[in-house]
Amino acid sequence: MTEYDAPLRDMQFVIEELVGLSEVAALPGHEDLTSDTVRAILEEAAKFGREVLSPINRSGDIEGSRLENGVVVTPKGFKEAYKAYVDGGWNTLQFEPELGGQGLPMLVSTPVFEMWDSANLGFALCPVLSIAGAEMLEKYGTDEQKEKWIPKLVSGEWTGTMVLTEPGAGSDVGALKTRAVPEGNHYRISGQKIFTTWGEHDFTENIVHMVLARTPDAPPGTRGISLFIVPKFMVNDDGTLGPRNDLRPVSLEHKLGIHASPTCVMQFGENEGAIGYLVGEECRGMQYMFSMMNNARLAVGREGVGIATRAYQQAASYARERIQGRDAVNPGAGQVAIIRHPDVRRNLMTMRTLTEAARALGYYVAAQLDVARKHPDAETRAQAQARVDLLVPVVKAWSTDCGVTVASIGVQVHGGAGFIEETGAAQHYRDSRITPIYEGTNGIQAIDLVTRKIIGDGGQSVALLIEEMADTEIPDSRIEAPFLQTLADLKQATSYFVDPPTDDPRAALAGATPYLTALGTITGCWLMARSAAIASDKLANGAGDDAPFYEAKITSARFYADTFCPQASASLATAMSGSADLMALADEAF
């Protein structure tokens, strides 16, 4: 397995030239942010990923976490890596200074955490939910809860989890049965939860679980769900740790990938019941949890980019070194590296351009989120938030699908060696496969996009995006022609959902996934086209040593438009095909 080398030049390009660091730096609280500061942060993060996290990625996959006498033991080097992570202040990047954070925008923290995802996805999964939990409590917690739990989550001294899923209630969260019985100023929690990421470990002395449960008189379904803070150890008034709470890991899931990350079956309340503290009001837990889930969905989309980057680097390195076959143009020159073969090159270009497009989309949405949070004008904030709401399911689903595709192609580039664990390509594929399932499967993301974000607002939000994309000046005709064609197809498909030609209630559900795929692909092409326009301008004005980088940007955008715009149009045709063929067979025929 090759070690991770952060793509700093591409990250800097997207941050500074494509998305626009200057606009984010102009927001209140970010006035002191400069390109030099951002570059210094990225360089230090790259060093941490390369020197600390990447070297234990493969060994962590082999060793895995294990449960011994009720205690989860993480792989060798992971506990020390987490201490270095906390000591370096990395967990505090995006939190406001009054919470003990560094106050950096999402546009800066996103590429930093992408590096952790690339270098060691199993490790990187741990901080994600701690950050999401702290942000949720800042929004919905009481003053006492904020004071008690947030500082330790921000610093990384404690970690957090998001505890939703039960054996009989997977994506149908409303079917959960974990109970919360009021008792004085707290509740007693009892029930079993599964698929709890980093639910138990040896990194920190305490773990703060955010648990969904149902109070005794709550209505059925999601309307009756409440959210509770349930710590591993109770916390005294002076901040010291008290007795162990009534919860424990029953077992660790045996998974396809991310072996270093302990995915726990958690039992709450085997004895008197685990003590939990209500967040906000009863029966509003899903609303509060969604604030965590939306943060986590952006993070999972970023994980797709991270694993794609690692898989691409591995495949490109192998293709440059693997000698096999003869060059089609000059077969008499002897054997050449496989990177000279057109089919291998097509694979590499597919990997490269999907990764670049997904990275650009993720950073673009991160910047929009910064604007939504901090812009002084209320209307501008609202417009940015609407764009974020529209694209969150796309970032999560499309980017993770890209990650799986890129990792799979990476195995293919290696040929038979890719199917052998020792090369490392298989680990990237195995690790990537969880991301389309995390935080609401990609099918659920697609349904959310079409039913709530498209049909729900009469197509207004996506219409504004389409209008902005259509108004973008694209000087390269090789990119402009396929892009404008597929953009017209997107407009037609959107009309199909907003004003359907059929009264079939399943038609929108049947077309949701291909529509999301197309929207992600087209938005990615828009950002690639803008990148090519910037590159052309730079080259026209003398790019110096950066000329090869900008030339590659133009080539990537052309390849992407030629390859993926036709695929997006085909997906949109499928999206409008209705549900008849999908539902025609009897259940027993499958």
* Catalytic annotation, residues: 439
Say how far apart CA 410 and CA 69 lie, in whole Å: 39
User: Quick one: the chain helix, strand, coil %, rounded to 5?
Assistant: 60, 15, 25
CA distances in angstroms from 528 to 189, 354, 356, 472, 555, listed in the order given: 49, 10, 8, 12, 10
Say how far apart CA 35 and CA 520 lie, in whole Å: 29
Instruction: Tell me which residue of 49, 132, 564, 546 sits closest to 355, measured CA to CA.
Output: 564
Say how far apart CA 245 and CA 208 lie, in whole Å: 11
Phi–psi pair at 30, nearest 5 degrees: -115, 15
- Here the tokens at position 4 are 């991770």
Instruction: Tell me which residue of 51, 72, 58 sits closest to 314, measured CA to CA.
Output: 58
Q: Is the dihedral of CA 137, 139, 144, 146 positive or negative?
A: positive
CA distances in angstroms from 77 to 52, 84, 124, 196, 411, listed in the order given: 9, 11, 14, 22, 27
Say how far apart CA 519 and CA 465 lie, in whole Å: 10
Say how far apart CA 191 and CA 188 lie, in whole Å: 10
Q: Letter for the amino acid at 42?
A: L
Half-sphere exposure of 67 (CA within 13 A, CB side): 16
- Here the tokens at position 232 are 């591993």
- Here the tokens at position 412 are 């293919």
3-state secondary structure of 384: helix
Query: CA angle, 227 as apex, 176 and 69 as ends, to 5°?
Result: 70
Half-sphere exposure of 169 (CA within 13 A, CB side): 19
Q: Is the dihedral of CA 91, 94, 95, 100 positive or negative?
A: positive
Asked whether the beta carbons of 462 and 498 are under 8 A apart, the reply is no
DSSP letters for 421-451: GGGSHHHHHHHHTTTTTTTS-HHHHHHIIII
Say how far apart CA 371 and CA 368 lie, in whole Å: 5
Instruction: Tell me which residue of 204, 186, 195 sits closest to 246, measured CA to CA.
Output: 186
Phi–psi pair at 177, nearest 5 degrees: -120, -5
Q: Letter for the amino acid at 3?
A: E
Kind of pairing between the strands at 159-163 and 207-214: parallel
Instruction: Tell me which residue of 499, 491, 486 sits closest to 463, measured CA to CA.
Output: 491
Half-sphere exposure of 563 (CA within 13 A, CB side): 18
DSSP letters for 178-197: -EEEEETTEEEEEEEEEEEE
